[in-house]
Structure 1
Amino acid sequence: MNDLGPDSPAMQRVRAAFLRVHVDRHDRLEELNLRLSSKRATSEDVREAEDILHKIAGAAGTLGLRELGDAARDVEILFLEAREAGFGDAGTLSRALEWFLNLSITHCDAA
């Protein structure tokens, strides 16, 4: 039976593949954050950011990237609450997303 522990070659390959995709997700979140910070974001932009954060949150922790996953989950919840409340203050969402992006970029550098 193959070892699928966190440091196994198989898990390292899966983690590396996730990080390659993560770079594209990070770049898209940066684009969406520009729209948020300039108050040009649509409800679809907010939903897309929430979806990307959800994907990161779901996979990162499983792959041993707990800090990234937890941060994505925290910001995803903020976006979800904002969407349910009619989107509220784009500045708050932008600052939260900027905080996440600052953490996220360190993982992009590892890709």
Structure 2
Amino acid sequence: MSALAHQMPGMDRIKHRFLELLHDRKTSIAQHALAAWDGETVELINSNLEEARNILHQIAGTAGTVGFPDLGAVAQQCEAQIIAHLEGDYADLAICPGEIIWRIDTFVEACDALGSEA
């Protein structure tokens, strides 16, 4: 966290709220990823990946500001992997690439590690 962010009034409250929301967001991302993995239609798979991407985008945009730049970077990597698939050549096939699941698993582990440190 930057020195300026440390001086911002209410930053501790914002950081605490971020951590409170992180568990539910992490769970939601994992559920969307599993639903995409198990999905049988392009629409079901891609809509779940889009939902996971949207939540990851929120986390990636906030994590660094509240003092968790590594978590933000992992969230951004997950988001990028999903975007690459949704904008790629195979977005019209009913598949969820294993790389996305692996990245999201890495994100969940990073969240769990952060929770054990907090």
Give the TM-score range, shorter chain.
Answer: 0.7 to 0.9
Structure 1 spans left out of the alignment, 5+ residues = none
1:12 aligns with 2:12: yes
- Residue number in structure 1 paired with 2:78: 75
Post-superposition Cα deviations, 1:44-95, rounded to whole Å, max 9, x if no partner, equal 1000011011000000011111010011011111111110011765212111
Q: Aligned pair in 2 of structure 1 residues 7, 23: CA closer, same or farther (>3 Å)?
A: farther
- The equivalent position to 1:51 in structure 2, one of 27, 49, 54, is 54
**Counterpart secondary structure, 1:6:** helix
Given that residues 50 and 80 in structure 1 are in contact (C-alpha distance below 8 angstroms), is that contact kept between their aligned partners in structure 2? Answer: yes
TM-score (norm 1): 0.82
CA RMSD of aligned residues (A): 2.5
Query: Are the equivalent residues in 2 in contact too, given 1:39–1:90 (CA < 8 A)?
Result: no
How far 1:18 sits from its partner (Å)?
Answer: 1.0
Offset at 1:35? 2.0
Distance of 1:5 and 1:24 partners within structure 2? 25
Quick check: 1:26–1:105 contact (8 Å CA) kept in 2?
A: no
- Please list every run of 5 or more consecutive structure 2 residues that lacks an aligned counterpart in the other structure: none
Per the alignment, residue 107 of structure 2 pairs with 100
Aligned residue pairs total 109
> Equivalents in 1 of 2:79, 2:8: separation in Å?
30
C-alpha distance in structure 2 between counterparts of 1:46 and 1:14, whole Å: 27
Q: Give distance in 1, aligned partners of 2:97 and 2:39.
A: 6
